[in-house]
Structure 1
Amino acid sequence: MKVLNKDEFMNSENLMVRRLRDSIFIYPTDTIYGIGCDATNEELVNTIRIAKNRFDMPFSVIAPSKEWIEKNCAIDETAKSWIEKLPGPYTLILRLKNKDAVAENVNFGSDSLGVRIPNNWFSEVVTKMDVPIITTSANVAGHDFMTSLDDLDPVFREYVDYVIEQGELKGRPSTLIFLNKSKVEVKKR
């Protein structure tokens, strides 16, 4: 497991973008640290499930762009208004119109997908990767979420290739906005 701060990462950004496509990594968001990988890579997604001990709940993704969301998810006027608020601390739960947009084990073949674009420099890295990445809290299921490198659960050292460290984050997990139902539901976590 290699730890890089933002400056170290940016000094070799092109190389790191290529490496992250085949890696499991911990990264900063506008809320807390996430653990992720290329969301189209079923094997890597499964490894994150093992590391987190989370086998029964779908994962959300950070989309590489708003255009990716519009291409792969069913968007109505209400969803458009929420997409316009991105980047931000929201996870939008949308109907998925392209089931091949993510590996099946991301959402267990469901017709819905959680998507977000955090208000953080790392979202630009995801844009350069040009694939959605898994976004789930960097903690074992049921444990406290990670807000600094000091909080890194030792079990992750076995599974994680890179940690992109940005110091202490002061957020809470993103707010869930359910847009896949007849009425919008908002759930703060």
Structure 2
Amino acid sequence: MKVITKEELMLNKDLYYSKILEGATLVYPTDTIYAFGCSALSEKAVKRVREAKERPEKPFSVIAPSKDWIRKNCVVDEKAEEWLDKLPGPYTLILKRKNIDCVAPSVNPLDDTLGIRMPDHWFMEVVAELGIPLITPSANVSGKNFMTSLDDMDSQIKQHADLMVDVGPLTGTPSTIVNLAAGEEKIIRRS
């Protein structure tokens, strides 16, 4: 595991972006809390995150690289479009996928929905530049407290992370989850 700063990530984009595209797992900051993710296209990497989090089936949300990516791969009706207008922000939108192969099968092994995030945070620029979605579960073992600082990171997560982007303590809470997959708005969790 290698701990890097935002500055180091930005100075060495080619190196770190290629690692992510090749399936590296990473702990990274968002506008809410630290996430533990990887390329949502890498089945092997997604399974590594799933194993570390002890989360065998529960779906993972993704940070989408753009709103265009969301519209291309998910069903976006009028209500969903209203929520897309609120992005970037502290929301996870659950949408029905129209392109089932837009992420690896292990991202959501249960159905054809996908949780979508676009954080209001500089790390969103990284995802946009990568041009691929990253899974974005909280950086903790399932059922344990979410992490706002790498100092408090669970050792199991540290062992499974190839990279950790440290920006110091975060003060957020998990995102608000809005299920729009059935064509109506249902708030599942508020931040």
TM-score by length of 1: 0.97
Q: How does 1:63-78 map to 2 (within 5 A)?
A: 63-78=64-79
1:122 to partner: Cα distance: 0.6
SS at match of 1:105: helix
Match of 2:87 in 1: 86
Match of 2:16 in 1: 16
1:131 to partner: Cα distance: 0.9
Q: Distance in 2 between matches of 1:105 and 1:118?
A: 22
In structure 1, give the amino acid aligned to 2:161: V
Q: How does 1:122-137 map to 2 (within 5 A)?
A: 122-137=123-138
1:182 to partner: Cα distance: 4.1
1:56 to partner: Cα distance: 2.2
SS at match of 1:79: helix
2:30/2:119 contact within 8 Å kept: yes
RMSD of aligned residue pairs (Cα, Å) = 1.0
In structure 2, give the amino acid aligned to 1:102: V
Q: Distance in 2 between matches of 1:183 and 1:102?
A: 24
TM-score by length of 2: 0.96
1:84 to partner: Cα distance: 1.0
Q: Distance in 2 between matches of 1:86 and 1:13?
A: 25
More displaced stretch, 105-114 vs 86-95: 105-114
Identical aligned residues as a percent: 49
1:117/1:123 contact within 8 Å kept: yes
Q: Distance in 1 between matches of 2:93 and 2:158?
A: 30
SS at match of 2:94: strand
Match of 2:141 in 1: 140
Query: Would you identify which runs of 4 or more consecutive aligned residues in structure 1 move more than 3 Å?
Result: none
Q: Distance in 2 between matches of 1:55 and 1:3?
A: 27
- Structure 2, gaps ≥5 residues long: none
In structure 2, give the amino acid aligned to 1:127: A
SS at match of 2:92: strand
- How many residue pairs align between the two structures? 189
1:181 to partner: Cα distance: 2.1
1:159 to partner: Cα distance: 1.0
SS at match of 2:119: coil
1:109 to partner: Cα distance: 5.3
Cα offsets for 1:82-110 (capped at 9, x unmatched) = 00111000000001000010011111151
SS at match of 1:3: strand
Match of 2:43 in 1: 42
1:63/1:115 contact within 8 Å kept: yes
Q: Distance in 2 between matches of 1:123 and 1:158?
A: 25
Q: How does 1:1-189 map to 2 (within 5 A)?
A: 1-21=1-21, 22-108=23-109, 110-186=111-187, 187-188=189-190
